[in-house]
Amino acid sequence: MANRLTPLVAGNWKMNGLRADLGEIAAIRDAVAAGRAARAEILVCPPATLLAEAAQLCAGTPVAIGGQDCHPEAYGAHTGDISAEMLKDAGASYVIVGHSERRIDHGESDARVAAKAAAALRAGLKVILCVGETEAERAAGHAEARVAAQLEKSLPKERWAGRLAIAYEPVWAIGTGVTAMPRDVVAMHGFLRQRLAALLREGETVRLLYGGSVKPGNAAELLRSPDINGALVGGASLKAAEFLAIAAAIGGQ
């Protein structure tokens, strides 16, 4: 079942991008509409300031737009935060939750990540839930235990019916240019697939993405296993040409 899932190639722009950069999203849209990555689903998660315009640019095309985080509440006194309902209202269909930069920079616990994922599902969004071990945890031989614990505690209790993807992102591989060894990625994805099957009735339908310094030159090799159903791409998603090359390597004809 897992290898029949449509791959998802998702770009996470993080805190990058001004209105002048919207042309990159338009270029991605045009190439995807022309069939550049016909076997994959393509998603771009720009900063919140660009979300509504990006969604307008991609309306009616195969390119989905997503947020990078959401608050667990629908509205209220939470200065600076954005709810899942607001993301949806701005035209998003996806949101990333539990990215390691949020877990580290904002001290987000697994329970809070689960609440955010539940909020996103409640609002009708699809969710990319991130998990991943630190370098020290891997060196100590605790990578699987860490990732399994994060997965179990960050999963929302609500039913997700095909609206959940998990991104395995080893913290030490994010934005560092250091990629995990393909055999380690395959092993971790196989492990996650087993855990998901044990935890969820629909575990087989959950796409498992890899993230961590994915580039055009390593995408095909990194994503060659049936348990790897796409990529979450940071730095290399900022320029259409690079992102499209990754998308084509994963979802080209």
Q: How many CB atoms lie within 10 A of CB 159?
A: 12
Nearer to ligand PEP, 85 or 209 (CB): 209
Q: How far apart are CA 89 and CA 123, in angstroms?
A: 10
Instruction: Give me the sign of the Cα torsion angle 6, 91, 151, 199.
Output: negative
Q: Is residue 99 among the annotated active site residues?
A: yes
Report the nearest approach of ligand PEP to the CB of residue 12 (Å).
4
- Decide: helix, strand or coil at residue 228: coil
In sequence order, the 6+-apart residues with CB closer than 8 A to the CB of 90 are 48, 51, 52, 55, 67
For binding to ligand PEP (CB under 6 A), which residues are involved? 12, 14, 169, 174-175, 211-214, 232-236
Question: Which listed residue (24, 71, 99, 108) is catalytic?
Answer: 99
Q: Is residue 53 among the annotated active site residues?
A: no
Burial class (CB within 10 angstroms; exposed 0-12, middle 13-18, buried 19+) of 208: buried
Nearer to ligand PEP, 206 or 222 (CB): 222
Nearer to ligand PEP, 14 or 112 (CB): 14
Report the nearest approach of ligand PEP to the CB of residue 45 (Å).
9
Catalytic positions: 99, 169
